[in-house]
Each structure stands twice: as structure tokens, then as C-alpha cells.
Amino acid sequence: MSGPLLEGRDITVRFGRGADAFEAVRDASLTLHPGEIVGVVGESGSGKTTLARVLVGLQQVASGAVFLEGQPVVEARSRESVPKNERWKVQMVFQDPYSSLNPRMRAWSAVAEALQVWREMTRNQARMEAFTLLQSIGIDESQARRFPKALSGGQRQRVSIARALAPEPKVLIADEPTSAIDQSAQARLANLLRRLRSERNLAILFISHDLALVRYLTSRVHVMRRGRIVESGPTEAVLRKPRHSYTRILLDSLPGRRGEAISNRRGEAISNRRQERRFPAADGSGGF
């Protein structure tokens, strides 16, 4: 296997027409390989979410294309995005855990539905499997029987992840999955994503504006600004020695992290310690 699992090539998304047209994403290209976590960072409105929606086929492109295992799945002017029988391969976790689950469906049921559709299970098999899957990512049976409104933000995000994992996808697009949940839940979710990558050889696109999380999770990172990818490269290198002035501004704008971006021994040491505190169960499988 030579090429990337998922590739976005020169993606441009335009909203509106004529003089009012607004380019949410412009000429963005990125690749994802199996077992790799790639980050996308950028401020609000930089086009991160739009890019994610393109990759799963929720958003039409003005130009450019998305390739899945070398096959084009999203192209300009094609109305039907990712072909139906290919959809299971790329799944998505949405930013807002409060709207990403059907309020009238119990947690296990949302997962079981995806299992029934994609894994050709009977109702009962799917039900059992849903409980097992939820259990494996830290939702116990009593929580699985609840409606979303009785679950916390972090728990809902886990249910969303379980639902996305149900078809056994090859790629997971995680659109700021941690932005609406509290810090300790964020850390556990990050560890969960790490575990999924190693256990399932899952390729994950991790979209975030939390640079500490991005540094902890990803090997490569793309920095977006006003719809363009302005800087790409190995995460450590980009965050430690940003070449683009915008990346530097982004790093500097983080509260309490001033100076971290500029390569500086002391700053590096501080950030490492800070990360240890935030992600105690780094590679251990426990921690839930």
C-alpha cells in the first residue's frame, strides 16, 4: 500500500455567488495514513469545520477532490457526495455533544442502529454489541440505557464516538470533540483517541484550537487561517519553531502559554510538566 488512506486535494469551498461569494476553504490539501493522528488548528472561522465536512461528504466543493484509498469520493459539481456504500469508511465526531445525539434515542440504541445498518446484525446482536462497544470506551451499562439529556458532555462525546466506530471505519474525523467538555474529560477523551488509533489502526483527523491537546495527540499538524492552510509539518517542529507569522500569533495568543512557542528550554520544560499533569494515563489502557 503506497498512497494515503484519505487525501484532500486543493479543496475549495465557496458559499454564496458572484460578488458576495465567500471562500470558506481555499486550496487546502492534506493526507491521512492508517494509524496516524493529524491535527488541524486555527481560530474560529478559519475553515476547520468546513474542511471536515468536506471530507465526510457533508459539504460540496467548488473545486478540488477527496480521495479515499485512491478513489475519488468527493468532486466538484457532483451532487451525490461520498457513495453510499463507501460511507462507513470515514466517520465523524461532531463538535457539539449537545446536538450530535438524537434526544429521543437511548445511547445504546444510537450505536445499535449503526451496527444494524452496517454490520448486518440482528436487533439482538446489535444490542449486545452496542453495550460491549460502549463499555470498551467507558460508558457502562446503566449509562448506555440513558437518554442523551441524562449524560454529561464527555459521556455524550463517547457515545458519538461509539456510534462513529460502529461501522468499523478506517478514518475518524474529530471536529473539536473536546471544545465543549471539561478539562479532565478532555484528557480522558484524548487518551481514548490515542488508544483507538493504536488498537484499531484508525486514522484520525483531530481538529482543535487547543494546542496542548494537538501537541499531545498528533504527529503532524496543519495550521489554518481564513480558509487556507498556512503551515504544515511535524507537530513538534511547527509548534516549537513556527515559520509562519500567524502560527506564532496563534501560539502567543494562548493564555498562560506565552513564550512556549518561541523555542526556549525553560518553556519546553514547563509545557512538558503541564502535559503530564493533564494527561496522567498517557499510554496506560486504564484511566477511565
Q: Which of 69, 96, 236, 252 binds another protein (CB under 8 A)?
A: 96
Nearer to another protein, 86 or 236 (CB): 86
- Over the window 14 to 53, marking each residue x when it contacts another protein by CB under 8 A and - when it does not, the resulting string is ----------------------------------------
Does 121 interact with another protein (rule: CB under 8 A)? no
Count residues binding another protein (CB under 8 A): 30
Q: In whole angstroms, how close is the CB of 144 to another protein at the nearest point?
A: 17
Does 160 interact with another protein (rule: CB under 8 A)? yes
- Name the segment binding another protein (CB under 8 A); options: 25-33, 91-99, 130-138, 215-223: 91-99
- Within positions 135 to 154, which residues make up the interface with another protein, using CB under 8 A? 149
Q: Which of 105, 121, 128, 281 binds another protein (CB under 8 A)?
A: 105
- Helix/strand/coil (H, E, C) string of the chain? CCCCCEEEEEEEEEECCHHHCEEEEEEEEEEECCCCEEEEECCCCCCHHHHHHHHHCCCCCCEEEEEECCEEEEECCCCCCCCHHHHHHEEEECCCCCCCCCCCCCHHHHHHHHHHHHCCCCHHHHHHHHHHHHHHCCCCHHHHCCCHHHCCHHHHHHHHHHHHHCCCCCEEEEECCCCCCCHHHHHHHHHHHHHHHHHHCCEEEEEECCHHHHHHHCCEEEEEECCEEEEEEEHHHHHHCCCCHHHHHHHHCCCCCCCCCCCCHHHHHHHHHHHHHHCCCCCCCCCC
Q: Which of 117, 150, 237, 249 binds another protein (CB under 8 A)?
A: 117
Nearer to another protein, 79 or 277 (CB): 79
Does 113 interact with another protein (rule: CB under 8 A)? yes
The CA distance from 55 to 29, in Å, is: 11
- Name the segment binding another protein (CB under 8 A); options: 4-12, 90-98, 126-134, 185-193: 90-98
- Name the segment binding another protein (CB under 8 A); options: 87-95, 126-134, 235-243, 254-262: 87-95
Does 104 interact with another protein (rule: CB under 8 A)? yes
The CA distance from 206 to 209, in Å, is: 10
Site residues (vs another protein, CB under 8 A): 56-58, 84-85, 87-88, 90-92, 94-96, 98-105, 113-114, 117-118, 149, 160, 163-164, 167
